[in-house]
Chains A and B, each alone.
Chain A
Amino acid sequence: MPLQAAAAAASGIEYSLKRTQCRVEVSIILGSIIICKTSEGLQNIAREPPRRLLQYYKYPSVKIIGNMYQSVSETSHPLQTEEQEVGIDPLQSYLNKTEEGGSNENGSTQHTSDSAGTFISYSKEWEELFVNNNYLATIRLKGINGQLRSSRFRSVCWKLFLEVLPQDRSQWIKNTSELRTSYNKIKEIHITNPRKAGQQDLIINNPLSQDEGSLWNKFFQDKELRAMIEQDVTRTFPEMQYFQQENVRKILTDVLFCYARENEQLLYKQGMHELLAPIVFILHCDHQAFSHASEAAQPSEEMKVLLNPEYLEHDAYAMFTRLMKTAEHWFSTFEHDSQKEKDAMITPMPFARPQDLGPSIAIVTKVNQIQDQLLKKHDIELYMHLNRLEIAPQIYGLRWVRLLFGREFPLQDLLVVWDALFADSITLNLVDYIFVAMLLYIRDALISSNYQTCLGLLMHYPPIGDVHSLILRALFLRDPKKNPRPVTHQFQQNLDYYKARGADLMNKTRASAKAAPLNINKVSNSLLNFGRKLIAPAMASGSTAGPTAGAGSFPPTTGPTRGTAEAPQYHQHQAQQQRMMKSESMPVQLGKGDAPAGDAALPGPAQNPTALPGQSSKISSSPSIESLPGGREFTGSPPLSASKKDSFFSTISRSRSQSKTMSRKESEEELEAQISFLQGQLNDLEAMCKYCAKMMNTHLGNIQEVILQEHLEKEDEILVSLAGLKQIKDILKGSLRFNQSQLEAEENEQITIADDHYCSNSQNKGTGDILKGPVMTKQQLISGRQTATDSSTRESKGADDCILVSKEEGSRSAVPEPAQLLQTFKESAVKPEAPSRPLVFSDPLMGSISASSSNLSSSPDDNSSNNSKDSDFAIVSPLDI
């Protein structure tokens, strides 16, 4: 399994590296991948003009995504072609393609490129791909294996797949020029100049004529059609700068227009633009690469003709028409056997499903067939589930098939899918199986969710980690005998994992994925900012505690000892974490390459239950770590809410450990790998935060309920503290803004909390009643701050916590120095604790609680009762001040 994971990750990184060299804009798609690119770039820096150098230095920061878009806009500028092509060095900067030969060798590619520094020229890649007897079979294999990802001749490959180019290479030039001239003709035919009509027959040829034969009439019809096409074209890949350019839009419109005019029956249908856009994009990319390569070296005549940028539109048209030959019936809305349909409408079958009743449009038939036959065959459970929910396949499948999954994957992944689709066969029959594979990928989530969630999942397909696994699975589904069981069995395992425990969690992450934009490159700014802040302090304070935290130095036995009540929750955590690590740790392991430390350190947190890194984070952020006996940390389980917060903070510790290793190893390459890893982690963390926030919410609700029922005398303080926790929850959820100063303040608090908590712990009983510790101090902190800064806040404790939070916010910002605040708080917190200490020691009840808590049985109710007890002695503090 790890081997496969490594291989998959390797291909990812290798891809990104090469991609970078070719063109910047290509790599914008996957945020994390982009960051990897720099390693190659850094090698080039020596040769780069200073401006490019600057660009490179931008990359290691997390700001990258912002810059990426900038660079895209730069790239797209027609006059800047030379500047934009970061890292294109036609002679040197290309990786050794031979490494790519076997699909399993992917992993080694990157290392070779880095260490040996073997480069191969542009033309060599050409030769690799096209100069041998059986080249077509080779590139087909490459296409299916996702190895065209970084190719600079993808467009040529696609042309071959789509049979735009004949297999006979000697015919290429002739064929291409023929197609181009034919397009010119087509285009000429379809330009209507109404003024050419002149004076002949004014009754027909006048601007207001509605005669069929009128040029004017045709002109206005064309205009209407164009307007319709343009409407869609302007919305094509709105996230990509390239498609915002006027001339690109013009190309898209013209091609679609010509196609529509050539196929009057079909005309233009919405969605066609989504098929055309990737074609135009890869043509453009290849042309860019070519123009760069041709600057230095003399390209062959073939290349010159095939990759002539002037004929982008012509080639796009040729490829598009070929593609549409297969896809057109998916767009047609003609009813087959309308007579038969009419009969069916009159006497509908009893118990017929709605999707069977409507007119049988080709596409609907197709998706129905996929669901009714293929899905039924491969996953009857999912099939039944979808049927039970009455989710007709055309609801989601129409778009999937029509756009060839264009809206379900980010563009880079989409191109890989298309590589496989086209390479497989021009009939695109792999579509059905990818369809099913996609359903299977989210099957557990689907099965465990209701109608609404299902629809959400299907309509906003969750981001997929490794598209290639999807393709492999599709191949396997189609022909289990010929194709090996996909490498995805690691993924399968993942699914089982979800099946067992994480279905609910899965929903959560999916939901969060839904809330957030689908593509990684569309990661919201807030997350980026958040990430930057999260990393920044970690970088700054790469503490010595870092490595210990990350290396998983804690006894792993603590996991199993956990109480049953809490176990599922932890497992969910664990599941999530593991999943996170599974997907995210791959690039890092790879990035680390041969470094043995990488292997040792990284899987550590993955295998330990989440709570452990959580605890460790506390340690690493706490100055009192050394004074703390390690074992005590794990005897008790922190209250749920605290653990969630911990897991949130664990990320800091992890990133800290990362930064530590980073500082040790000076190699830049690792640095980028680290960043990419962190980036990926951030993405997952966001999901985790959301989950934590939700759980926190429910448990806080429970606590609050209980407290309100109990009518404790110091209820106010508890409620105020709860409000504080709710604020944290909101920060986790992201609904509350989280900025740098807050983070610092928060961190400081965290330190203090830990401080007090550990001190009190060691002083208190030595058994480490962690359960109480954090909560108690937290309450003290918040209530202390409350009273110190804004006593009026407390009056509103019963009120909506939102108001409370906002007030607290205000009061916090009103305080000039957080240190001051902390000072006051500390005084307040420590003072009242002194009398409480003997109380705890002497109290047998408390002792038993601590004992029981070490056994880790803590339901939310336990928590709340504990909390209230804690607060009983803690609450004195604010009043004392």
Chain B
Amino acid sequence: MRSTAGRTGSGFGGGARGVRRYHVGQIESCHWPRGGENEACYFLATVVRVELVLVLGDLHIPHRCSGLPAKFKSLLVPGKIQHILCTGNLCTKETYDYLRTLAGDIHVVKGDSESLNYPEQKVVTVGQFRIGLIHGHQVIPWGDVASLALLRRQLDVDILISGHTHRFEAFEHENKFYINPGSATGAYTALETNVIPSFVLMDIQSSTVVTYVYQLIEDDVKVERIEFKKY
């Protein structure tokens, strides 16, 4: 029932706001064409297809932070990640260029202190999942679940990613998934006293998203794993 409501909401809401929609599935670099597996069914399936989506934002380089923590930087190497979803506040082109070195497919939305021009919000499709991307300063009150749910219905997405609060959050609400990757640099914000640098990596499988949360707690990278299944 809820999902139908959400869909109707998006009918006018999404159209009126002119949300950009991206289909990632076509861009992805797939290892084997899907047809090949059917043709040679008697061959063992050899390759596991993995699609990793890096979610991060609020870097505020160079205004509030000098750069990504070294531990994060060493983790983030090219060749593993297929897509990057950024909640904004990269602030400079240099940061954007750095992210480009990690993955070819990068989607950024506009933050509140952005020097470059990005779209306000984006809808990206990865596998079976529609993912909405917004910085979050537009959603008032900031980080409020009900407001985010409203926006999610408008965008008609399965996963809504927002930022701005500099606090990692990942929760399921009404069978939909909400992610706030926090600040990857642990940049200062007025609302948080103790900002923990964090980012999120989504391993998107057919109907499941496994979310790995990387947090830098006292100079150690802690990893959490959250699974979300689409119904």
- A residues touching B (Cβ–Cβ < 8 Å)? 78, 184, 187-188, 191-195, 199, 202-203, 206-208, 210, 219-220, 223-224, 226, 246-247, 250-251, 254, 257, 310, 313
Q: Answer whether residue B43 sits at the interface, using C-beta atoms and an 8 A cutoff.
A: yes
Q: Answer whether residue B144 sits at the interface, using C-beta atoms and an 8 A cutoff.
A: no
B224 contacts A191, C-beta separation under 8 Å: no
Looking at B34-42, B119-127, B164-172, the stretch in contact with chain A turns out to be B34-42
Q: With the chains together, A257 CA to B76 CA distance in Å? A: 26
A250 interface neighbour in B36, B52, B201, B203, Cβ under 8 Å = B36
B210 contacts A247, C-beta separation under 8 Å: no
8 A Cβ contacts from B116-175 to A: none
Q: With the chains together, A251 CA to B40 CA distance in Å? A: 10
Q: With the chains together, A465 CA to B47 CA distance in Å? A: 44
Q: Find chain B residues with CB under 8 A from A192 CB.
A: 48
B80 contacts A207, C-beta separation under 8 Å: yes
Instruction: Given the known inter-chain contacts A192-B48, A202-B212, A220-B80, please indicate yes or no for A254 contacting B43, CB distance below 8 A.
Output: yes
Q: With the chains together, A247 CA to B45 CA distance in Å? A: 12
Q: Find chain A residues with CB under 8 A from B201 CB.
A: 206-208
The 8 closest A-B pairs by CB, nearest first: A202-B223, A208-B75, A247-B40, A206-B223, A246-B36, A193-B48, A310-B42, A206-B212
B162–chain A nearest beta-carbon distance, Å: 22
Q: Find chain A residues with CB under 8 A from B2 CB.
A: none
8 A Cβ contacts from B178-231 to A: 201, 203, 205, 210, 212, 214, 221-225
- B residues touching A (Cβ–Cβ < 8 Å)? 31-33, 35-36, 39-40, 42-48, 50, 52, 74-77, 79-80, 201, 203, 205, 210, 212, 214, 221-225
Instruction: Given the known inter-chain contacts A191-B46, A199-B225, A246-B33, please indicate yes or no for A208 contacting B76, CB distance below 8 A.
Output: yes
Q: Find chain A residues with CB under 8 A from B31 CB.
A: 223, 226
24 contacts between A and B (CB under 8 A): A187-B44, A191-B44, A193-B48, A195-B50, A195-B210, A202-B212, A206-B225, A207-B50, A208-B76, A208-B77, A208-B214, A210-B74, A210-B75, A219-B48, A220-B79, A220-B80, A246-B32, A246-B36, A247-B43, A250-B40, A251-B43, A254-B46, A257-B46, A313-B43
B44 interface neighbour in A78, A188, A195, A246, Cβ under 8 Å = A188
Query: Which single residue of chain B is at the shortest CB-CB distance from A208?
Result: B75
B226–chain A nearest beta-carbon distance, Å: 10
Interface centre among A192, A208, A219 (most CB of B within 10 A): A208
Query: Which single residue of chain B is at the shortest CB-CB distance from A193?
Result: B48
Query: Which single residue of chain A is at the shortest CB-CB distance from B220?
Result: A203
A207 contacts B212, C-beta separation under 8 Å: yes
Q: Find chain B residues with CB under 8 A from A254 CB.
A: 43-44, 46
Q: With the chains together, A243 CA to B74 CA distance in Å? A: 40
B135–chain A nearest beta-carbon distance, Å: 24
A220–chain B nearest beta-carbon distance, Å: 6
B37–chain A nearest beta-carbon distance, Å: 9
B48 interface neighbour in A191, A210, A246, A251, Cβ under 8 Å = A191
Q: With the chains together, A788 CA to B137 CA distance in Å? A: 84
A202 contacts B224, C-beta separation under 8 Å: yes
A191–chain B nearest beta-carbon distance, Å: 5
Q: Find chain B residues with CB under 8 A from A250 CB.
A: 32, 36, 40, 43, 46
Q: With the chains together, A257 CA to B44 CA distance in Å? A: 13
Q: With the chains together, A194 CA to B52 CA distance in Å? A: 12
Q: Find chain A residues with CB under 8 A from B221 CB.
A: 203
Q: With the chains together, A206 CA to B76 CA distance in Å? A: 12
B79 contacts A224, C-beta separation under 8 Å: yes
Q: Find chain A residues with CB under 8 A from B205 CB.
A: 195
Query: Which single residue of chain A is at the shortest CB-CB distance from B221?
Result: A203
A207 interface neighbour in B36, B52, B74, Cβ under 8 Å = B52
Q: Find chain A residues with CB under 8 A from B80 CB.
A: 207-208, 220
B36 contacts A247, C-beta separation under 8 Å: yes
Q: Find chain B residues with CB under 8 A from A203 CB.
A: 221-223
Q: With the chains together, A220 CA to B75 CA distance in Å? A: 13
Query: Which single residue of chain B is at the shortest CB-CB distance from A246?
Result: B36
Query: Which single residue of chain B is at the shortest CB-CB distance from A247?
Result: B40
Instruction: Given the known inter-chain contacts A246-B33, A247-B36, A250-B40, please indicate yes or no for A195 contacting B48, CB distance below 8 A.
Output: yes
